[in-house]
A and B are shown apart, each in its own frame.
Chain A
Amino acid sequence: MNSYELPDTVAPVEKSPVTEAHWKLSTRSISVLTLLVLLGAWWLITAVEWIEPLFLPPPSAVLEKAWLLMTKGYMDSTLWQHLGASLQRIGLALLFAVLTAIPVGIAIGHNRIARGIFDPLIEFYRPIPPLAYLPLIVIWCGIGEFSKVLLIYLAIFAPIAIATATGVRTVDPTKLRAAQSLGATRWQLIRHVILPSALPDILTGVRIGLGVGWSTLVAAELIAATSGLGFMVQSAAQFLVTDVVVLGILVIAVIAFAMEMGLRALQRRLVPWHGQSH
C-alpha cells in the first residue's frame, strides 16, 4: 500500500527513506550517469580525433548543425518542417487508428461474429512488417501523403485492436453482473463498465502502436518521401553529411522517448486505479 492510505487527514509528507544508505544511487541517477558517460566518451573520442569527423562528428558540430537546421534548414525545409511533416503523418494515423481500432476491439472482445470476422484478418496482416506491403500501397495509392498515413495507420491499428479486445475479454464478470442487476442495457454495459475496465489495456495498445508506428514512419520516409525526419536522414547520408544524420537519429529517438513518457503520464492520469488493490 502507499500514501493513499491517509487521504485527506494528513497531507502526504515526502519522507526520504532515512534507512537507505546515503551512498546508494537511485535507478534514475544511474541512468542519467550512464548517458553522461556515453556523451563524454563521444566527446573524448572526437576531441582526440580517434575517429574522423566524417564518420563521427563531435557533439559540438552536431549542436551547431542543429542550430543551422532550425534557422536555415536542410533540403529546402527547416528541422521544424521535417519534424512537423513526420508528426502530422503519425498524428493523423493515430487519430484514425484510435477512432476505428477501439470500436473494432470492443466488437471482437464482445461479439462472437465480430471476432470471427476480424480476428483472422488482423492476425494475418499483423505479423507482416509494414515495409513489406508498402510497395503494394504505393502501387494502389501512389506516393503521396495518403499512402504514408495509411501505412502507419495499419501498423498502429492491430496493436490497439488486439489490446482492446484483450481488455474487453478480461473484464471482471462480477462487475458486469453488478451493472446488469442495476438495470444496465447492453450499451450502458459497454459505456460504463467494459470501456473503462479495458482502458488500461487500450492505453498499453496505444503505447505499443505508437512505437511501431513511429519506426514504420521513419523507415517509410527513408524509402519514399520528400520531407520528414527519415527523408532528412536518408538524403544527408547520400551526401555524407554525417552531422545531419546523427542529429536526425537523435531527434527521432527523442521524439519516440517523449511519446512513450507522455503516454505513461496519460496512463497514470487516466487510470489511477490500475495497480491499486481492489
Chain B
Amino acid sequence: MALLKLERISAQYPGAAEPVLADISFSLGPRQLLVALGPSGSGKTSLLNLIAGFVAPSAGEISLDGVAVKGPSAERGVVFQDDALLPWQDVLTNVAFGLQLAGVPREKRETKAREMLALVDLAGFDQRHIWQLSGGQKQRVGLARALAADPRVLLMDEPFGALDAFTREQMQELLLQVWQRTAKPVFLITHDIEEAVFLATDLILLAPHPGHIAERLKLDFGQRYAAGESARSIKSDPRFIDTREHVLASVFSQRGVSREQHA
C-alpha cells in the first residue's frame, strides 16, 4: 500500500528572506488521515503544493512508495478549496475527466464516474451543469473527480473552508465515510480546529516563522465516527472538548511566541 514520505523538507520562495517551511518530516500510509492545522502564514498551503508537485522543495525529499515526487501526477489526487471544476462540461464528464485524460474508453470511464457520484451521494446528478450546483455539491463533485482517477494519496486543500457551518459538518462526515470505504491515505489542510480534531488520525500542528511542526497528535475521533458513533456524541465527548481546547491553546501559544519574536 501507498506510503508518502517527507524527509526534512524546506521551501523558500525566490527572493524571500525567510523560508516558508523548514525541516518538515512525516509519513502517511493507508488508513491514515493526516491533518495539517495551522494559522495563515504557517505554510500549510505551501506544504500541500509541495506534495502535489506544483512547486519543488528547496531542500529535502518527498517520495511516494520510494519514488521521488517530481511534478504533479494522477497518483496524488487533489481536492481544492475553490471550485476547480470545468464549467463547460456536465457533472459526469467532470468526474470522468481524469480517466478521459488517461485514455479510458467512454463507457468504462462513465460507469466509474457514476460509481464515484453515488459514493458522494450525488447519484442522478450526471447531466447537471456545474453552475447549477451549490457550494457543497461542487466540493462533492471535486472529491468524486479526484477519487475517480484512483489516486494513491488524496490531498485536500481546505476543502470545506468556503462552505457554511452546516454544510461543512455534513461534508466532514461524508469525507470520513468515503475515507473508510476507499481506505485511501488522506492529507488534509485546514485552519478549523474542530474540523482538524474530528477528522484526523494524525494531527500535525504547524506554526509560522518559518513554518514548522510544533506538535504531533494521534487521535481517534474520526475512526469512532467511521465505526458508527454519531458525530454529535463524539463532539460533545469531554475528551474531544479537552483535545480541542488543548490544540486551541497550543495554536495561541505559538502565535504569542512568534509575536514576541517579532516585537
When the two chains form their complex, are residues A180 and B87 in contact, meaning their CB atoms are under 8 A apart?
Answer: no
In the complex, whether B17 has a CB less than 8 A from a CB of chain A is no
Which residue of A7, A177, A188 contacts B54 across the interface (Cβ within 8 Å)? A177
When the two chains form their complex, are residues B131 and A175 in contact, meaning their CB atoms are under 8 A apart?
Answer: no
Question: A262-277 interface mask toward B, CB cutoff 8 Å, 1 = contact, 0 = none?
Answer: 0000000001110011
When the two chains form their complex, are residues B88 and A196 in contact, meaning their CB atoms are under 8 A apart?
Answer: yes
Residues of B within 8 A of A181 (CB): 52-54, 72-74, 76-78, 146, 155
When the two chains form their complex, are residues B52 and A175 in contact, meaning their CB atoms are under 8 A apart?
Answer: no
Q: Which of B54, B71, B88, B102 has the most CB of A within 10 A?
A: B88
Within 8 A of A (CB), among B78-119: 78, 80, 82-88, 97-98, 100-102
Q: Complex Cα distance A7/B132, Å? A: 8
Question: B105-146 interface mask toward A, CB cutoff 8 Å, 1 = contact, 0 = none?
Answer: 000000000000000000000001111100000000000011
Within 8 A of A (CB), among B34-90: 52-54, 71-74, 76-78, 80, 82-88
Question: A171-207 interface mask toward B, CB cutoff 8 Å, 1 = contact, 0 = none?
Answer: 0101101111111110010001100100100000000
Which residue of B98, B100, B101, B132 contacts A4 across the interface (Cβ within 8 Å)? B132
Measured CB to CB, the closest approach of chain B to A219, in angstroms, equals 37
Which residue of A177, A183, A188 contacts B80 across the interface (Cβ within 8 Å)? A177
Tally of chain B residues near chain A (CB < 8 A): 32
In the complex, whether B171 has a CB less than 8 A from a CB of chain A is no
Residues of B within 8 A of A178 (CB): 78, 80, 84-85, 145
Measured CB to CB, the closest approach of chain B to A34, in angstroms, equals 35
When the two chains form their complex, are residues B130 and A177 in contact, meaning their CB atoms are under 8 A apart?
Answer: no
Residues of A within 8 A of B129 (CB): 4, 7, 272-273, 276
Q: Which residue of the partner chain B has the closest CB to A183?
A: B74
In the complex, whether B149 has a CB less than 8 A from a CB of chain A is yes
Q: Complex Cα distance A197/B102, Å? A: 21
When the two chains form their complex, are residues A180 and B128 in contact, meaning their CB atoms are under 8 A apart?
Answer: no
Known: A7-B132, A177-B52, A177-B54. A182 touches B101 (CB 8 A): yes
Measured CB to CB, the closest approach of chain B to A124, in angstroms, equals 33
Within 8 A of A (CB), among B140-163: 145-146, 149, 155
Q: Which residue of the partner chain B has the closest CB to A178?
A: B84
Q: Which residue of the partner chain B has the closest CB to A196?
A: B88
**Chain B residues in the interface with A (C-beta under 8 A):** 52-54, 71-74, 76-78, 80, 82-88, 97-98, 100-102, 128-132, 145-146, 149, 155
Ordered by A's residue number, 9 sampled pairs between the chains whose C-beta atoms are within 8 Å are A7-B129, A172-B84, A175-B84, A180-B54, A181-B76, A182-B146, A185-B101, A276-B87, A276-B129
10 A-B pairs with the lowest CB-CB distances in the bound complex, closest first: A183-B74, A273-B87, A182-B98, A276-B131, A178-B84, A180-B72, A181-B78, A174-B84, A196-B88, A181-B72
